[in-house]
Structure 1
Amino acid sequence: MRALLASLLILITAAAAQAEKVVADMSLRDVEINANFDGSDILIYGAIKGAKEDSGLAPLDVIIAISGPTGPVTVRKKDRRFGIWVNTESIEVDRAPSFYAVASTGKLEDTLSYNDDVRFQVSIPRAIYSVGAPAEIEDPASFSEALIRIRKGNNLYQQLDNTVQLFDQTLFSTTIDMPANLVEGTYPTRIFLTREGEVVARLATFIDVRKVGLERWIYDLAHNQPLIYGILSLVIAITAGWLASAFFRYLRF
């Protein structure tokens, strides 16, 4: 009898968790990069459908992760040899996001279990994928750690603990700072609803980052017509050099 009651309780708890869903929106879905672009703050807000404060279940947490376009990255290690700094070792990280921000209602390690972090690749280290390293590399993990440290310093990787506001276990909001040095592309945005570290609901959407104006024209020219782009760059460089030379000759007289 006790086993039956325990089983019923588990089923009721699971059904209550499955009934909860996330609905969300954001203040800006299209980010335009032009000559005056110096970054953008994006407000992400939403609601939890089916949530009940008096359900007797543990409180909910919300995690929001935004990832930029991913690609391989070569990370090099410098050592001092004969009085100068030189590249001594390198590892190619198979896939790393150009931008990554993860915000949560509490500390990330408290709001997301290890297993679900591995499953959904939410934390910054989990978002970086590296298959292996050459046998002669003694400490391959240090290269990924260096990549994270450098990109954190450039505000490209952000772990934003305690920044998602959750009101009455129903409404949530946060603001993500998108820096000026963004890469063009689609930025997948994932919202996770967790209870006691386990993901009970999730939602996926995206932010579109595109160059516009002169930046768009230069980008298209460089990628679609590289010969014309190279000739134009050479002409501009020669013209700028000639104008600078003429200006200094004028100053002498």
Structure 2
Amino acid sequence: MNKKILFHISFLAGLLALLASPCLAADVSINLDPSVINISAFYNGSSVKLSGTIPAKAEAFIRLSGLKREIHLKKKGKVAGILWMNTGDVTFNDVPDTYILLTSSGLKDEIDSPQSSLGFTALEKQIDVEPADSDKSFLIREFVKLQKKNLVYASDADAVQYATAAGGLRTFTAVATIPPKMKPGTYTIEVFALENGAVTGTATKTLTVKETGFPKQLSNLAFNHSLLYGIMAVLVALVAGLITGVLFKGKGGVH
């Protein structure tokens, strides 16, 4: 009998603790519009509208990340103090191929803060660099700069807008720019509710980027019918060369 009473007391205590927690799972939500992006023949990037809710006293930090991959790059350095040359190979393991951060001005320091578990510096804990004796922090910073130039890593500290809080919640909206170089695949979009620098709740949705129409057919041809794809590539190059030769010959003959 006493064991049953203790069980019920423990259950009620746990339930009350959950209800008293600063952020219930239902308090944090995120929606995508659209949730699927189609890459067609004239695709040049796109955008996704984000919206959701967080607790009234929290701020939203949104992270879009792609699949983790292994990337091989050449390391450059000065030889004899004069010439810049390739001095070795560097391998980055567990690298997200896309990493886009969106937040409001109140959380802009989280993007590059060394203490942040969400910003770019958090990548140092996720990514492994080979060879192991490399200057990991320096190489990852340089890698992030390179990815930012390719627009697949980005941040916007003014992207998130808030509506007036009501019922202990407030609604947020943001627009995520999808760069043309984002590869087909499945991407994770997360929203973190932050209060006083601590994550008090999260919500996650999936964004799908896929090829359609001619790009899909071309990709299928390249991967599944490589011989035919190679022959077609050679024929296209020959035809393009012939057309170019005729055009320049025609221009040269005009006086």
Is TM > 0.5 for Structure 1 vs Structure 2?
yes
Same amino acid, percent of matched pairs: 22
Deviation at 1:158, TM superposition (A): 1.4
1:225 aligns with 2:225: yes
Q: Provide the C-alpha distance between the structure 2 equivalents of 1:148 and 1:111, rounded to a whole number of angstroms.
A: 13
Q: Provide the C-alpha distance between the structure 1 equivalents of 2:120 and 2:114, rounded to a whole number of angstroms.
A: 13
Name the residue aligned to 1:25.
31
What secondary structure does 2:28 align onto? strand
Does the aligned pair in 1 maintain the 2:58–2:193 contact within 8 Å?
yes
1:123 aligns with 2:113: no
Name the residue aligned to 2:130.
133
Q: Provide the C-alpha distance between the structure 2 equivalents of 1:172 and 1:252, rounded to a whole number of angstroms.
A: 62
Match of 2:152 among 152, 156, 161: 156
Q: Deviations over 1:189-229 (max 9, x none)?
A: 11111222222221111111112221111111111221111
Deviation at 1:13, TM superposition (A): 9.0
Deviation at 1:85, TM superposition (A): 3.6
Does the aligned pair in 1 maintain the 2:75–2:86 contact within 8 Å?
yes
Structure-1-length-normalised TM-score: 0.79
Q: Provide the C-alpha distance between the structure 2 equivalents of 1:241 and 1:111, rounded to a whole number of angstroms.
A: 49
1:63 aligns with 2:69: no
Gaps of 5+ in 2: 1-12
Gaps of 5+ in 1: 1-7, 54-58
Deviation at 1:156, TM superposition (A): 1.5
What secondary structure does 1:37 align onto? coil
Equivalenced residue count is 231
1:89 aligns with 2:88: yes
Match of 2:42 among 33, 36, 42: 36
What secondary structure does 1:228 align onto? helix
Amino acid at match of 2:27: K
Deviation at 1:71, TM superposition (A): 1.0
Q: Deviations over 1:53-105 (max 9, x none)?
A: 5xxxxx21111111123311123222344765421122100022222111123
Q: Provide the C-alpha distance between the structure 1 equivalents of 2:116 and 2:251, rounded to a whole number of angstroms.
A: 68
Superposition CA RMSD, Å: 2.9
Q: Provide the C-alpha distance between the structure 2 equivalents of 1:81 and 1:116, rounded to a whole number of angstroms.
A: 37
Structure-2-length-normalised TM-score: 0.78
Name the residue aligned to 1:56.
none
Amino acid at match of 1:24: I
Q: Provide the C-alpha distance between the structure 1 equivalents of 2:70 and 2:62, rounded to a whole number of angstroms.
A: 24
Does the aligned pair in 2 maintain the 1:95–1:130 contact within 8 Å?
yes
Q: Deviations over 1:156-196 (max 9, x none)?
A: 11122243123324111111111122211111111111222
